[in-house]
Structure 1
Amino acid sequence: MHHRLARIPGTSYALAAGFASGAAISFTPFVGLHFILAAIFAWIIRGNILTSAMGTVVGNPWTFPVIWVATYETGSWLLGWEPKDNMWGGMMEAADHVTFGSLFVDPLKALEPIAPYFHSVFLPMLLGGIVLGAIAWGVVYWPIYKLVSEYKRKRFEKRMKALERKIATSGHSDLGEEGKTIW
């Protein structure tokens, strides 16, 4: 992934900022909208939109349970609320009554069973997600920036050495005095 990421056209900042944007957005409770939100965030900060989509891989079926608990606990702590232990079971039970078809027929009525959880679950997760996402952005940005910068520098040096060898073995040079091109 490092090789592919580093070879995408763009500056080291744009590639790293895009990837970090995707990672940060993965901490928000807007599951299903992460690609779109990451692209918007990357566009706003002049990051690479393609790498923002790659960065959303931070949020996946293995990491989401940890992310959701961490964002909920952090948000509850920031709000000064005591996290509820049985909250997840009650929310999942309420969500079982919401069907995909009912969302099209009458969305407001379909969402009624989970409406009480907006204040007690979604709000802490959103606040915690923003804080942990900001931390994740910084934690992801710097290593990616350093890796991409180093890769691009080494690649440039390798290409320059190859060009120098080609010029040296060709027997003549298209370069005149002081390295200026003759033609």
Structure 2
Amino acid sequence: MRLLRSRWLRPHAGLLLRRSLWQATPRGVAVGLACGVFFGILIPFAQMPVAILVAALLRGNLFLATMGTLITNPLTVPFVYLGAHRVGRWLLDWSPKADIEATVAAAAQASESFWTQLTHFDFGAATLHLCAGLAAFAVVGGVMAYVIGFFAIRWQQQRRLVAVRNSPPR
């Protein structure tokens, strides 16, 4: 097996090869999917190894932890990051007075040139807004993935059980 030959993964082979981490139980599916979505949104690189490690420690499904990280891919990441920045800005700067001041400041800046705006851009605040928004998206996405994964696999298992009960005897 390739896993046992890898010097990086060999120490963790006992954990990663547990059969329960690859089966579709309601809790395992929910935890694996939640870990994948959470870390897929929260961190921009090394998402899969981190999601697999945390899912293994929490006894979640490793395949779904890996697939859950694909929520952010080259097609979706610009939208996720732009939305996260806006949500973070709203979370950190929200107040009625700040909204009025921001509207007045935006109207004043509209007349400035692009280069003037770029030189006065506060990258520290933008990074803080992005991090706050990504954290909010990751928590909400992880919770939603847990709930959807749990109830989807339960529904599928119950449907299969009803089909077996209603099937004619052989």
Flag whether TM exceeds 0.5 (same fold).
yes
From 47, 51, 69, the counterpart of 1:34: 47
- What's the counterpart of residue 61 of structure 1? 74
Corresponding letter in the other structure for 2:40: S
From 153, 157, 160, the counterpart of 1:155: 160
- What's the counterpart of residue 20 of structure 1? 34
CA contact (8 A) 1:39 1:52 kept: yes
From 128, 135, 144, the counterpart of 1:139: 144
- What's the counterpart of residue 52 of structure 1? 65
Identity %: 20
CA contact (8 A) 2:36 2:65 kept: yes
- Map 1:1-183 onto structure 2 (within 5 A): 9-28=23-42, 30-80=43-93, 117=123, 119-159=124-164, 165-166=169-170
Unaligned runs of 5+ in 2: 1-21, 95-101
- Give the TM-score, by structure 2 length: 0.60
CA contact (8 A) 2:23 2:61 kept: no
- Give the TM-score, by structure 1 length: 0.57
CA contact (8 A) 2:84 2:137 kept: yes
Structure of greater Rg: 1
**How many residue pairs were aligned?**
127
Identify if the C-alpha distance between structure 1 residues 158 and 19 changes in structure 2 by more than 3 Å, giving closer, same or farther.
same
CA contact (8 A) 1:27 1:71 kept: no
Q: Cα RMSD (Å) of the superposition?
A: 3.0
- What's the counterpart of residue 14 of structure 2? none
Corresponding letter in the other structure for 1:78: L
Tell me the CA shift for residue 138 of structure 1.
2.0
